[in-house]
Amino acid sequence: MINFEEKMKYKIFVDGQHGTTGLKIHEMLEGREEIELLSIKEEEKKDLNKRKELLNSADLVFLCLPDAASIESVSLITNENVKVIDASTAFRTNPSWTYGIPEITPTQREKIKNSKRVCVPGCHASGLIIAMKPLIVNGILANSQKLICHSITGFSGGGKSMIDDYESGKFEDIGGQRPYALTLHHKHLPEMKYVLELDEAPLFTPSVGNFKQGMLVMSYLVKKDFKKAVSREEILDLYKNYYKDETFIKIIENNDSYLDAGLLNPMKCNNTNSLEISVYENDTDMVVISRLDNLGKGASGAAVQCMNIMLGLEESKGLKVSKN
């Protein structure tokens, strides 16, 4: 006798399930009764035929792989019904793929719902784009604006080898945060420019902190560069209106209660899919800070959110909201 409940399950395959993002997605989907996870043994992950079989038998595939491997996996998919969510940088500026931030425009959620090819944004890019898109759309910042941005992220963003180094105490004597990508060619720059429709890529440097998970993305703005004069309160109102129906985006109004004795903790959105925007100013300048979990809204959480939309499920299913 056919078990109807079994038959209705969505088959999901995570190609790259043994890496940081893949493991997290697997963990988030385990136990969801409407999902059947297809798995590959670690020793079989380089078996092309086995991967091809799994890639083509799934309803939806997550690609948690380096760029070249993601491109290869997409080429192995011959079943036109398979939906793909890619977590690499390979397709983020490809117009035939849909960018996976449903909140950024009024039509983006519908585009994701109807797409068979969705790319998950980079964690740094998510923080910058979600903070800057409303300012550009509403004519506060010009597309010609040279954005300046810095972020600090937990070491889990560096993958297995960096996690092992930190957790083994190898970097104990270093301790503090360390800037990287100092050639100024970080791999998230193309998507930042593409999605924000900027004339040129931002000036951006990230740094890795001596903590595992969480991140802050800080955008530095000079008020005289604004196309029209706006106060912090007007910027907050603009953000609240732009993201008014969004479960996972929170606009912070009271900085005093939000900060910990004047300090901003990068880890307070951990294990959620939330992104919080806070705004700071003096007479001449403004700083907009996005706080998010680099493994949540910055990676696996965003991927699962897109999956829920693409499969017609409740968008927030299996995802947590911050309580800050």
The pLDDT assigned to 202 comes to: 98
Matching CATH number, 123-294, of 3.30.360.10, 3.60.15.10, 3.30.1180.20, 3.40.50.1370: 3.30.360.10
Angle at CA 278, nearest 5°, toward 211 and 156? 20
Q: Per-residue b/e over 65-81, b at no fewer than 16 CB within 10 Å?
A: beeebbebbbebbeeee
Strands 215-222 and 285-292 turn out to be: antiparallel
Q: What is the pLDDT of residues 172-183, one digit of tens each?
A: 666 678 999 999
Question: What's the predicted TM-score (pTM) here?
Answer: 0.94
Assess whether pLDDT exceeds 90 at residue 18. no
Query: What are the boundaries of each domain within the chain?
Result: 4-121+299-310, 123-294
The pLDDT assigned to 7 comes to: 53
Tell me the mean pLDDT in the region 149-168: 86
Q: In what order do the strands lie in the sheet with 148-153?
A: 178-179, 203-208, 148-153, 215-222, 285-292, 275-281, 249-251
Could you tell me the pLDDT band of residue 6, with boundaries at 50, 70 and 90?
very low
- Structure tokens of 177? 């945060």
Does residue 123 carry a catalytic annotation?
yes
Assess whether pLDDT exceeds 80 at residue 105. yes
What whole-number distance in Å separates Cα of residue 107 and Cα of residue 139?
19
Assess whether pLDDT exceeds 80 at residue 267. yes
Q: What is the pLDDT of residues 279-307, one digit of tens each?
A: 999 999 999 999 999 999 999 999 999 99
- Which of 119, 123, 149, 269 is labelled catalytic? 123
Could you tell me the pLDDT band of residue 171, with boundaries at 50, 70 and 90?
low
The pLDDT assigned to 5 comes to: 45
**H-assigned helices in 41-158:** 48-57, 67-76, 108-114, 123-137
Q: What is the pLDDT of residues 37-61, one digit of tens each?
A: 998 887 887 788 899 999 999 999 9
Matching CATH number, 4-121+299-310, of 3.30.450.20, 3.40.50.720, 3.40.190.170, 3.30.70.100: 3.40.50.720
What whole-number distance in Å separates Cα of residue 68 and Cα of residue 193?
22
Q: Per-residue b/e over 1-35, b at no fewer than 16 CB within 10 Å?
A: eeeeeeeeebebbbbbbebbbbbbbbebbeebeeb
